[in-house]
Structure 1
Amino acid sequence: MHENSLENDENDVQDHKVKLRNETIVALEKLKSEIMRNDTEPLLTLFTTWNNSPVKNAVHNITLRNWMTLRPYVVPVIFLYDNLTKQAGGGIPILKYMYIDVMRLFKSTFYAYSNADILFTDTLIYTLFSLKEYMKHISMPILVVGKRHNVNFLTMSEGLSWKSITQVAQMRGKLFNGFAEDYFITTPEYPWRDIAEVVIGRPAYDNWLVYRSRKLQVNVIDSTNTILAVHQTTGSGNYEGHKQTNSNYNHNLLVKLYKFIKYKTGFIECIEKYTDYKNEILLVKTRIVEKQCTV
């Protein structure tokens, strides 16, 4: 009798999971129709930029094709370097003005800059769909970041579908360190106008941005468990920003402004809130972080 009772309980849990999954699929289809009819805004405006580089052309083509598969929930935007008027450090785009410009031109629930070599799957859509509901219960802006999976020399065929990206991440991907943050998902209320003029593609801006957001009591959330972000690693390796010209630009700017920067408090491991699933429901949970994470 006891074994039968346990089996029935497990079946009930599975039935509940299937029901919740189906309800989410139906809700997303409804949202899709509303977006396509212009009855509601997309979930995310996802933007990036890149220099023309023969070495990186294949990577950027894969990224562009991948981001297009996220439509209509996600609006992909590519900034051309020639059209970026706010630059520093020898012609490098300033992050805050990219957000300000894209929010002026596009309407969506969330906005995100991502490095141009990062691929996403439908896990991005599911996470943001759930966070949209979470936003109803909080007052402060949101910043969502997460760790990436590095995959060496990902091919076009491997990057064509969400399924193949997931498979290659499981088979060949390696979860990278928490000091590397490659995408920054924010709500429109995020105080970009008050953020220092750090540039993209150079060290320090990512950890400082997370640190600064935590200092400002923004709702910083680690989405590593629920958003698969795949980095297309090439022969340049996983530390390209450190090899670029003016690699110390952000650090020098921030030290000039703030004297001392607690970069480690901007690592993923120092973020108290994180997303995870329980019985097909995405939850924002809270964890205890080390004392050295105090801002």
Structure 2
Amino acid sequence: MLTIFTTPKAFRGHIEVIQRNALKSWTLLHPDVEVIVFGDEEGAAEVCRELGLRHEPAVERSASSTKYVQLIFGRAQEMARHDVMVYANCDIVLTEDFLRGVARVAEMFGAQGAFEGENAEAQRKRRENKFLMVGRRWDTEITTPIDFSASDWAERTRALALQQNRQQSQDWIDYFVFPRGMYREIPALVIGRVGWDNWLVWKARSEGVAVVDASAAVVAIHQNHDYGYHPQGKQGVWEDAEAQRNYALAGGVRHIYSMDDATHRLTAKGIEANPGYRLAPARRALRRGRAAVWHALLRATRPVRHALGIKKTKPLEPQMNTDKHR
């Protein structure tokens, strides 16, 4: 079975609503799912007690109070009752399609013992195998508590996400599924800034680990929110000193991988090889070139646009996930 671990923001206002929704949905995946919450944010202890979650309040932080990826991933793997680990952002609602997807991926890549009985030899073999499962999220407007007492809450919530039809791009990575023992060495990256999630994909690929994109089989429901947790909002998450440090520690653009780099895909038909992953570097270069041209055009036309009162409507940004948890 699974151990899901996460780190929240303070449980206040709308953020409290969506984090409670996410955490509760995880507990309903299966009676044996374990959930570990890292951090001493306001309300975390109370919510963990209420939902029966494990709480690890002591987390080493940077000078800006962001949490280190290495310490959370390392401690979670030490604490976990199960061998299949899941890191998920604390605003992601997961339903049974996620559990089915994990079971299929784990079975194919030798981790089926996490879901069924196994002898000592099978256990040894499983622990030698590695994989990483990731998937695109569906941005969804949810402003109220989900009624988990309704028998069809999962179907209704998935239907809402599909109806709003805002699946994020392959660069936005909000969950990671992997066997215990991966990610033993991680640079001093922090959660809450850009780049660390992309580095995790690169790290898996650099070690020859199978990376499975489950986007076609799993509806990971991201509950939209603002960026009030950073004094400069979304721009601060992208551009402050810690964001730049994350980017440098990750190794720069060479290590900013996405789901384009997945070696396999999980679909309704099963797990398939993804030969297109070899083209991922070229696609990234094309996006960077397109963004550079766009920004150059904006700079060149700024005086004219200013005189005419015309503003750019949507900037092209580097393709990295800004929806990070503190």
Query: What TM-score do the two structures reach when normalised by structure 1?
Result: 0.73
Aligned residue type for 2:188: E
Unpaired runs of 5+ residues, structure 1, are: 1-42
Aligned residue type for 1:144: M
CA shift for structure 1 position 142: 1.3
Question: Which residue number corresponds to residue 252 of structure 1?
Answer: 245
Unpaired runs of 5+ residues, structure 2, are: 42-56, 112-125, 285-326
Report how many residues are paired: 246
Question: Which residue number corresponds to residue 105 of structure 1?
Answer: 79
- Cα-Cα RMSD: 2.9
CA shift for structure 1 position 175: 0.5
CA shift for structure 1 position 277: 2.2
CA shift for structure 1 position 247: 4.2
Instruction: Name which of structure 1's ranges 62-71 and 141-150 shifts more when overlaid on structure 2.
Output: 62-71
Change (3 A) 1:85 1:289: closer
Once the two structures are superposed, the pairs formed by residues 50-89 of structure 1 within 5 Å of their partners are 50-55=8-13, 56-81=15-40, 83-89=57-63
Change (3 A) 1:88 1:286: same
Say which of 119, 138, 143 aligns to 1:149.
138
Given the alignment of the two structures, is residue 186 of structure 1 paired with residue 178 of structure 2, yes or no? Answer: yes
Instruction: Name which of structure 1's ranges 92-101 and 81-90 shifts more when overlaid on structure 2.
Output: 81-90
Change (3 A) 1:126 1:290: same
Q: Are the equivalent residues in 2 in contact too, given 1:151–1:231 (CA < 8 A)?
A: yes
Instruction: Name which of structure 1's ranges 152-161 and 112-121 shifts more when overlaid on structure 2.
Output: 152-161
Q: Are the equivalent residues in 2 in contact too, given 1:94–1:199 (CA < 8 A)?
A: yes
Once the two structures are superposed, the pairs formed by residues 114-125 of structure 1 within 5 Å of their partners are 114-125=88-99
Give me the identity figure in percent: 19
Distance 1:129 1:174 in 2: 26
Aligned residue type for 2:146: S
CA shift for structure 1 position 216: 2.0
Q: Are the equivalent residues in 1 in contact too, given 2:199–2:250 (CA < 8 A)?
A: no
Q: Are the equivalent residues in 2 in contact too, given 1:274–1:286 (CA < 8 A)?
A: yes
CA shift for structure 1 position 268: 1.3
Change (3 A) 1:148 1:256: closer
Aligned residue type for 2:276: I
Distance 2:238 2:217 in 1: 34
Change (3 A) 1:50 1:169: same
Distance 2:248 2:227 in 1: 28
Q: Could you say what secondary structure the match of 2:59 adopts?
A: coil
CA deviation map 1:116-158 (0-9, x unaligned): 1111110111111222221229854211111000002343236
CA deviation map 1:172-205 (0-9, x unaligned): 2410111111111111131x22221211121111
Q: Are the equivalent residues in 1 in contact too, given 2:138–2:162 (CA < 8 A)?
A: no
Q: Could you say what secondary structure the match of 1:81 adopts?
A: coil
Question: Which residue number corresponds to residue 34 of structure 1?
Answer: none
Query: What TM-score do the two structures reach when normalised by structure 2?
Result: 0.67
Distance 1:242 1:228 in 2: 28
